[in-house]
Structure 1
């Protein structure tokens, strides 16, 4: 990506290209989805709505988001760059929409990172309790430790970050699967008739559960933010996005099925369990798994925050280089080849916000509220990219009826969680969250307007830069575009009408 003409040429230093293969890319998306988070905290909420249909809710949610993945593939198989979702929507709907998408993703990744910090704090104390240590670590201390470690790893090397996420989330998922296998063996069969027959399941309850399930799965797109560092990005990024959804969706279906079966076998009310896996480990006589599972959750929540810092910084970097923020934020560390200033700024903002929230609420409440607030951002971006895909194909002369059908299917599916966020009306303060998010969007639009007044050519420059930055067949990545960033602008600057 080029930078604004007022910025020093040193700011055009680029992230390290071609260093992230498929395993590390899929680890980025899976870490941001955080399967552990759902298994240890969210399944009881889903069960409270869907009961024996909990597993089916996760199946529906996975299939529904599959249409969004198809729309993402339109872009990810043709172009790759740092902060790609920002670039994708910009190429399909114009620079204003791209900037709005980037602004929205900063919100979404930021609040998911806050959920990661609070989850880290919750399970640090649960782990200490599991090993018999009578000590309560203050939440602010846990936040500071996790945020500082995330900053350091993200600052140093994206390869270390990605490998760490792969190992940590993999370990946590392995421990949860081990407990689930134990429960199935003790049960004597994988068959659970009440669940397979959907006994007591209502259509309305199933719809409400699907809303929760979709929110559990958001984040699968985050591998696209690493487009500038991916190896063979036009192949590996679409695969990573697709497989992260498949892997986590399958994991949620199986884990929720086993948790419901296990709780009923021992007369437990799953909807009332704040730590379902701990309770089930005790019920099945494998209490020794509690400490490892809590440790795995700690590592998973750390990995979640780290993935958000990585993704958010790579949205900040191109936006800064395009003049939407200070050009310093767009700089890349000479030796580490990471967007170090963006990483530092984003991590500091996340910590500051969660520290303020802690004044008013406990970590568990903040966790739930942060996840809800983040969901609004993801929904808006998924709507935008689904509409941007056919617009982009139309501009290229490649639009087909199936592309329109996929767009319509994605929009219809996304309306389910959108409507479910408003009806039935949730209790306070959650009922006011959509308006808080709307206010944030208004601030972003006002900021965009002020930047445009200061530099009347900024939006056309963004369109021109996105248009020539990276395209199909140009797998040499973002550095090629940066090397030519001082060249004259292409004569066609309309992202919507010109051939890309």
Structure 2
């Protein structure tokens, strides 16, 4: 049975059309880190969290990091036993069956696509910030077009190239941000900010509201799972990438939420009111030139996130196509580059059209980022909740369920419910009040699509359940 299972796994990888076992651990983790875009959070998201959580911003990110690590633990119950480019779509299917797996994957695709388009809009905004240093204004539509063409070109080629490029660019950007952070700490005299540590002026509601935004900083941390066929030693490197990326970027977010609040002490401008906190801190500390360099880093980070989102979502779509749920055309891979080029082309077009239409309607690029990012977060939270529910069911099927697994699942769901409920209650002001209904409509459409998909879907659930048992024997 073991030899037969390994043989079936090799056939599955060959049939996917992707380049097999070509990515090292560093290249695999680059996918998750690029999808998180850690340089973008200190540059943009932390001020938004501060506007809600105030001096408790660092604690908000502590809670978010713990929650994401717990979600990662549940993802790894699958990732250390089986590998597939279908990511959470396949994992949830292994636990709860084909229908639940598809709905989870459907929500995940929405999360990836809208995150990629949101960061493309942010790329446009930050590209103009760089242009201001030279007195140049780049039309938003043109900047978006430039960003998506570059992203499409990189993703369509060798997956190793895009992984290495994202890792190098994000590494340079984070290094610069750490240097600026160190300067702020040194100039503060290494004194602890007791107003933050004592949570002055912080309430449970402020932490709860900030947690919704803090979660958006992490979404996509699991995208390394979409490299199930392309990673070397996937049952080891993918689980390690999922947890390492979550804890690593969580540390960065906690640290810089504290440092940025510290750096704005005594400033006339509030952290929650500035659109470029790192540039402001660079000017304040006397290292204004670093603001320009960091702006370049943030621009690249947003673009890298778009690349990572297209990379991950294209592989989920590829798997769905090869499972006969959606058009077989989307399951085609390039004969030379071994990439899912048809899915990539479709995603590039969608990622271009959405922000361009919104921009032509006169909507500011950072508003586009906020709107699309909010809907995307709902998609990820839904998929994360599904994987948390699925994990203990999956472990029960393979006779490896323990009480600790059930307890951790209950704790993780309780934490996830905070941002999930916080996104819809109390219902936010327009247009954010309609976003939950847009997401719900997407889920309904997915459910209808599944029910009317190819007749082979009637056996998909059984196949996934069977795979769950076969993979554990590998």
Is the Cα–Cα contact under 8 Å of residues 90 and 463 in structure 1 kept in the other structure?
Answer: no
TM-score in terms of structure 1 length? 0.89
Confirm whether residue 128 of structure 1 aligns to residue 127 of structure 2.
no
Confirm whether residue 80 of structure 1 aligns to residue 83 of structure 2.
yes
Is the Cα–Cα contact under 8 Å of residues 43 and 256 in structure 1 kept in the other structure?
Answer: yes
Deviation per residue, 1:446-496 (Å, 9 max, x gap): 111221xxx32323146426744972464xxxxxxxxxxxxxxxxxxxxxx
Is the Cα–Cα contact under 8 Å of residues 314 and 344 in structure 2 kept in the other structure?
Answer: yes
Is the Cα–Cα contact under 8 Å of residues 87 and 466 in structure 1 kept in the other structure?
Answer: no
Is the Cα–Cα contact under 8 Å of residues 86 and 99 in structure 1 kept in the other structure?
Answer: yes
Task: For residue 180 of structure 1, report the CA deviation from its aligned partner.
Answer: 0.7
Which 4+ stretches in 1 moved above 6 angstroms?
none
1:378 match? 380
Task: For residue 267 of structure 1, report the CA deviation from its aligned partner.
Answer: 3.9
Task: For residue 12 of structure 1, report the CA deviation from its aligned partner.
Answer: 3.4
Query: What count of residue pairs does the alignment treat as equivalent?
Result: 460
Using a 3 Å threshold, how does the CA distance of structure 1 residues 190 and 81 change in structure 2: closer, same or farther? farther
Deviation per residue, 1:337-376 (Å, 9 max, x gap): 1111111111111111222222331211100001101011
Deviation per residue, 1:370-391 (Å, 9 max, x gap): 1101011001100100011011
| CA–CA separation in structure 2 for the residues paired with 1:245 and 1:273 | 27
Task: For residue 273 of structure 1, report the CA deviation from its aligned partner.
Answer: 0.6
Structure 1 segment 55-66 matched on structure 2, within 5 A: 55-66=58-69
Deviation per residue, 1:267-297 (Å, 9 max, x gap): 4311111111111111111111111111101
| Farther off after superposition, 174-183 or 196-205 | 196-205
Task: For residue 107 of structure 1, report the CA deviation from its aligned partner.
Answer: 0.4
Using a 3 Å threshold, how does the CA distance of structure 1 residues 370 and 391 change in structure 2: closer, same or farther? same
2:424 match: secondary structure: coil
2:471 match? 471
2:102 match? 99
2:304 match? 303
TM-score in terms of structure 2 length? 0.94
**Which of 94, 114, 117 is the equivalent residue of 1:114?**
117
| CA–CA separation in structure 2 for the residues paired with 1:250 and 1:13 | 36
Task: For residue 103 of structure 1, report the CA deviation from its aligned partner.
Answer: 1.2
2:391 match? 389
Which structure 2 residue ranges, 5 or more long, are not aligned? Answer: 1-11
Using a 3 Å threshold, how does the CA distance of structure 1 residues 17 and 142 change in structure 2: closer, same or farther? same
Deviation per residue, 1:225-267 (Å, 9 max, x gap): 1111011111111110001111110000111111000001434
Structure 1 segment 454-493 matched on structure 2, within 5 A: 455-461=454-460, 463-464=462-463, 467-468=466-467, 471-472=471-472, 474=474
Structure 1 segment 246-257 matched on structure 2, within 5 A: 246-257=247-258
Confirm whether residue 233 of structure 1 aligns to residue 234 of structure 2.
yes
